[in-house]
Amino acid sequence: MAKETIQKDIIIIGAGMAGLTAALYAGRMNFSTLVLENAIVGGQIANATGIENYPGFLSVAGADLIKTVQQQAENFGAVVDEFDAIEKVDLIGAVKRIETDGAVYETPVVIIASGMSRKKLPLAEEAKYAGRGVHYCELCDGHMYQDKIIAVMGGGNAALDAANFLSRYAKKLYLIHRSKMRADDVSQKRLMENPKAEILLETEIRTLKGEGKLRSVEIFDKKTNATRDLPVDAIFVNIGVQPNTALFTGQVEINAKGHIVAGEDCRTKIAGVFAAGDIREKEIHQLTTAAADGTTAALLAEKYITGGKTSW
């Protein structure tokens, strides 16, 4: 059975801060706007327990901030379609085509704001335990481990935010990192003061163990050269991110690090196609710069659609 073909003025791929800000502006300009998100709305920032560097808030949970921006976008008519996997895109030509599980969309403008996803755990057993103790989304899967032993792998801000979030479920929580923590002082202090948390630095995870699902990890302490088994029910991996650009390979220009090449105007080499947020090649990746990209992309999309900026 053929899929329905649906026309939209603007389609935004990704519902993080950049994508939702673009949707807010596009909806406010009365464009029929669709946001396609193949995972949870908000992306990585949805897991942040306390954001203290976003203007207008002394401190705000990532999920609350994203929910507010989503509500703003939806109040202006934008539609956010969560967990609708995109199968393929065709960005070449005046009319862009995006095919999902349920429909084919046609639009003159695509704003790519697909962000980043977490790097996989680099162990041979990762596939065996994926979803059976090895996880990458604490917001999605943390509740599965109520009163269980949870480990978080990583030492940056995102890892500590994940650990602080997961402590609401865990009876015991380990933060395991192969070197020193890189997170800011506020996040470190919050975790260090958590009575459920134990921090294992200069420690590597060597092997995953368990029948059917994860039961323990073999860890190596680089300070003492000692190896031991650590009983855990789950490990949430947060060891870095990579750009979500696989869908666009061969269409937009992608640099050596996997980011889409686009200037401060967010325009790619393809007319009508913009890149915004962490997916875009740029030096600074922050919530504020993601919101700025979303704003820029939407406003210049309006000029492109109405003919106010015909050159590309």
Judgement on whether residues 253 and 223 belong to the same structural domain of the protein:
no
Judgement on whether residues 126 and 233 belong to the same structural domain of the protein:
yes
* Cα four-point dihedral sign 54, 60, 63, 66: negative
Three-state SS at 94: coil
Tens of pLDDT, residues 220-253: 999 999 999 999 999 999 998 899 999 999 999 9
Residue 296 confidence (pLDDT): 98
Judgement on whether residues 154 and 219 belong to the same structural domain of the protein:
yes
The boundaries of the domain holding residue 10 are 4-117+241-306
Judgement on whether residues 63 and 153 belong to the same structural domain of the protein:
no
From the centroid of its chain, how far is CA 211? Answer: 31
The total domain count for the chain is 2
266 among known catalytic residues: no
Do 268 and 262 meet the contact criterion of CB atoms below 8 Å apart?
yes
Judgement on whether residues 49 and 77 belong to the same structural domain of the protein:
yes
Domain presence at residue 111: yes
- Tokens 């015991």 sit on residue: 172
**Mean of pLDDT over the chain:** 94
Q: Which of 64, 140, 229, 265 is catalytic?
A: 140
Q: Which of 81, 84, 141, 221 is catalytic?
A: 141
84 among known catalytic residues: no
- Is 0.75 surpassed by the pTM of this model? yes
| Residue 96: φ, ψ to 5° | -90, 145
**Least confidently predicted of 187-191, 213-217, 304-308:** 304-308
Judgement on whether residues 113 and 261 belong to the same structural domain of the protein:
yes
141 among known catalytic residues: yes
